[in-house]
Amino acid sequence: MNDQFKHYYKRYLKCAEHGDAEAQYRLGELFYNGENISNIKKDVWIQYKMFGHGAISPTYFKEAVEWEKGFHEAVKWYKKAADQGHVGSQYRLGCVYNILSGLGDPYVYDESRERYKEAAEEWYQEAADRGYADAQHALGVLYEFTHKSESEATTWYRQAAEQGHAMAQYCLGRINGDAYWVQKAAEQGINEAQCLLGIMYHFGEGGVPKDSQAAVKWLEFAVRNRYAEAQRYLDQWYPKKSWLNKLFS
């Protein structure tokens, strides 16, 4: 437990215990972001959040149990704030339950994981209905990849995209093949969008003309951000623009 965590935990705890929703949310964030974990192991915590126990090496496996307890501590504080209508906490509850639903063996049925999935969607919906862009995007992802409903996904992506949510703009453009929204996301630095926009210009799709100069420009933006797929397209379609040719030219 690092000193920074202790400082902020102490700072928020008193207000949180007296029912301050924002303080409760901030306490939840400390545990959700793994601030109670040493910096040396922070990268492992990030892997754990993304992939569950399967991403943890045997060296850290025992500690993973403690990290999971941190998630449940986050839930406790988020829930207190969410019940008071704190929309950020409602969204974060969806995130936590969504992560918990992915833990364990995906090929073995686990009733608790199913409950987590349902809880995640309920809290995302709660926040999305109140106009919270992150939740609208998350709900769009659930409809696209879990419920396989592109029409519902499009509805939620659009609501978030119109509020300027970059990933929602990318998803909306990708799902509808619309370069307008892809470019909006690309201009906000989304690597996937920059790469896709380069592809669209290369083929003249999505409402943009075929333009090799624009294609190279956007692919190179993605390459500078270390997006490997864009480098592959650049090497395949515009070999004179590849970094290897530039190096020896």
> pLDDT tens-digit profile of 158-188?
999 999 999 999 999 999 999 999 999 999 9
Give the model confidence (pLDDT) of 10-27 as tens digits: 999 999 999 999 999 999
- Dump pLDDT digits (tens) for 25-79: 999 999 988 888 776 666 766 776 666 655 555 555 556 666 677 888 999 999 9
Residue that is written with structure tokens 């892997």 in the block:
47
Which distant-in-sequence residues (6+ apart) come within 8 Å of 131 by Cβ?
159, 163
Neighbour count for residue 243 (Cβ, 10 Å): 11
Whole-model pTM?
0.88
Residue 243 has pLDDT above 80, yes or no: no
* Alpha carbons 237 and 21: distance in angstroms, whole number: 53
Domain boundaries, the chain: 1-126, 131-176, 186-249
Indicate the burial class of 59 (C-beta count within 10 angstroms; 0-12, 13-18, 19 or more).
Answer: exposed
By C-alpha distance, which of 177, 179, 143, 183 is closest to 159? 143
Mean pLDDT estimate for the chain? 89
Mean pLDDT of 85-109: 86
pLDDT for 244 beyond 60:
no
- Tell me, what's the pLDDT at 52? 65
List, in sequence order, every beta strand (DSSP E) within 14-124.
none
